[in-house]
Amino acid sequence: MLKSKSCRSWTLVGLAIIYFLSRLQNLTAIPVFGDEAIYIRWAQVIKNVETLRFIPLTDGKQPLFMWLLAFGSLGFFKDPLIAGRLLSLFAGFINLIAIFFASALLANFSSSQKNVIVFVKQSIKRKFNTAFLSALIYTLLPFTFFFDRLALPDNLLSVLVTLSFIFSLLLAKFPRLDLSLILGLTLGLAWLTKSPAIYFLVLSFLFFLLINFRQAKKIVFPAISILVAFALYNTLRLGPQFHMIALRNQDYVWPLSKIIKRPLDPLIPHLGDLFTIFSAYIGWPLLLLTFFSLIKSIKFFGKQHLVLFAWFFLPLIATASLAKVFTARYILFTLPFLIIFISAALSTFKSPKFALVLICLVFNFPLIYKLSINPFAQKLPPTEAGYLQDWTSGWGIKQAADYLIDQSKTQNVIVGTEGSFGTLPDGLQIYTDSVSQLTVIGQGLGFTQVPDQLIDAKNYGDQVYLLINRSRLSIPDYNSFSIIKQYPKPDGDQLLLLKI
């Protein structure tokens, strides 16, 4: 164990430096992804139009991530993609710190200390190695590396859920009103970020019951936490489209009636997806090391470790059982608990565990390197392919925006795009939001001729362009436009900038 306080402090500083150096370099190497474009565009609208603070509700999305982006990093950075990704990057760093604390508190949970502040300090001092191991795994894992660098609300949900676990743990050990209110705040903020936060309202309540099952009177404390969370979530009723959250959730999960009839669908296929995701983003060397360590150390595990496993496993299985679409980011909020569980299992390993973990993680370094240096040539698992391939990937959008902005300096520019929502036109609009002489108009899909709206703009005297993927270009009359720019995609497709 690192006994010197200064030595422990410098160790954490070194890990923080590694985190930021790894995450910040080539932050925009992967172009804007479809959902990123939507969220960043919403944040721009929220910032610019005060009557549209709840615009994410129109698509059934909770707005906390967009609020933080609109009134935070968007005001400090010219590039909107950098602004959005930095929000996730800093959320990831807070998650790293939260995982460190959660791991230390859990490992020292059986302490008889009665003072919460002293308990926290004691836990960090006694269980520093276990906590540091969790933070080290988080920093060097491809799973976290990938999503710390994308402007998606899933990272924010993950950190808020980890904080909720910390305060659930503290509340279970020290039933107090202040901890109850703070727990309610973190749970409520998580629910304002994404709907899966509701899993942890239930789990935090069960955590308290498991630890305090003989003290029924104290159940009022987790009940207050849940009431605070519900009150925060219901502030969304101020938005006129609050009902859209429930409606859009139905598009992502199967109805219970179908699950009851066929309980193994989609669970079995999604377990196969989970196998693929863990193989790519965690690596089997680390998982196998954890498995063998767990077999050896299971006798040292207490009720708190059972709760930890439940926070990882139950939401994971629920998502796999209910979700229509299963991708890595939809289970990202369970990853902190897996990391803490891995650290807890390895903490009883007598061999130099840091060296063993590093050896296991070395196998994942090539993926991290390729994702940051040359993502164009990297192949992701089938569930993740949309970040780099297909219409959801944004290769060429930034370059097309730069060209169009330059053209708009001398003449009014109208740009039609395929689609009316998503990668195009939102991906183009985030870069052209403040350009007065450039207008982006989504034109839907499946048109077989240049849209009349663009023809009218051309006849009016504007410069008119169409931005479209070659695979979706179905206009037979090539004489009606000329190809100005072609931007290749990894799957062989191209983003075309056409001039009408």
pLDDT tens per residue across span 165-207: 999 999 999 999 999 999 999 999 999 999 999 999 999 999 9
> What domains does the chain contain, in order, with CATH numbers?
5-371 (no CATH), 397-499 (3.40.190)
Instruction: List, in order, residues 6 or more apart from 338 with CB less than 8 Å away.
Output: 312
The mean of the pLDDT values for the chain is: 92
Q: Say if residue 440's pLDDT is above 90.
A: yes
277-327 residue pLDDT tens? 999 999 999 888 888 877 877 777 778 888 999 999 999 999 999 999 999
pLDDT for the residue 351: 58
364-393 residue pLDDT tens? 999 999 999 999 999 999 999 999 999 999
pLDDT for the residue 251: 86
pLDDT for the residue 292: 81
Q: Say if residue 352's pLDDT is above 90.
A: no
Q: Would you place residue 344 in the very low, low, confident or very high pLDDT band (cuts 50, 70, 90)?
A: confident
Q: Say if residue 478's pLDDT is above 90.
A: no
Q: Would you place residue 1 in the very low, low, confident or very high pLDDT band (cuts 50, 70, 90)?
A: low
CB 37 within 8 A of CB 422: yes
Which of 60, 71, 69 minimizes the C-alpha distance to 36? 69
Q: Would you place residue 448 in the very low, low, confident or very high pLDDT band (cuts 50, 70, 90)?
A: confident
Q: Say if residue 350's pLDDT is above 70.
A: no
Q: Would you place residue 7 in the very low, low, confident or very high pLDDT band (cuts 50, 70, 90)?
A: confident
- Give the mean pLDDT of 51-71: 96
Residues 494 and 477: their CA atoms lie apart, in Å, by: 19
pLDDT for the residue 499: 94
Q: Say if residue 264's pLDDT is above 90.
A: no
Please give the residue that has the higher pLDDT: either 256 or 48. Answer: 48
Assigned token pair, 59:
């698509």
Q: Would you place residue 221 in the very low, low, confident or very high pLDDT band (cuts 50, 70, 90)?
A: very high
Of 243-252, 321-330, 345-354, 442-451, minimum mean pLDDT range: 345-354
Q: Say if residue 329's pLDDT is above 60.
A: yes
